[in-house]
Amino acid sequence: MRDAAINLRALPEQRDLIDHAASLLGKNRSDFMLEAACDRAQAVVLDQVFFSLDTAKFARFTALLDAPPQLNPGLKRLMAVKAPWSVDSA
């Protein structure tokens, strides 16, 4: 059960557009708006390039970056597959 209210005001044209899009997806206005807002919020969070670490976490992070790569058989197989758009030069 949803128990947190989010209230906002919109122009009638905005409401109508949202209602139309929601109906095309078989959703109600609230579900459509909540899904759209959460999708956008997640994208914003995932696009962040700056993050803060304390001294210990930063040391661990840099150690992981500086460590030699570990064997990854799946990646090795993937890199051995020739891209379908590659042209043989032979």
Expressed as residue numbers, the domain containing 27 is: 12-46
pLDDT, position 51: 82
pLDDT, position 35: 97
Nearest-angstrom CA–CA distance, 26 and 19? 10
Number of domains in the chain: 1
Is residue 80 included in any domain, yes or no? no
Per-residue pLDDT of the chain (90 residues; tens, 9 = 90+): 888 999 999 999 999 999 999 999 999 999 999 999 999 999 999 998 888 899 999 999 999 999 998 999 999 999 999 988 987 655
pLDDT, position 89: 55
Is residue 77 included in any domain, yes or no? no
pLDDT, position 87: 77
Give the max Cα distance, the chain.
66
Is residue 71 included in any domain, yes or no? no
Is residue 27 included in any domain, yes or no? yes
Is residue 16 included in any domain, yes or no? yes
pLDDT, position 38: 97
Is residue 29 included in any domain, yes or no? yes
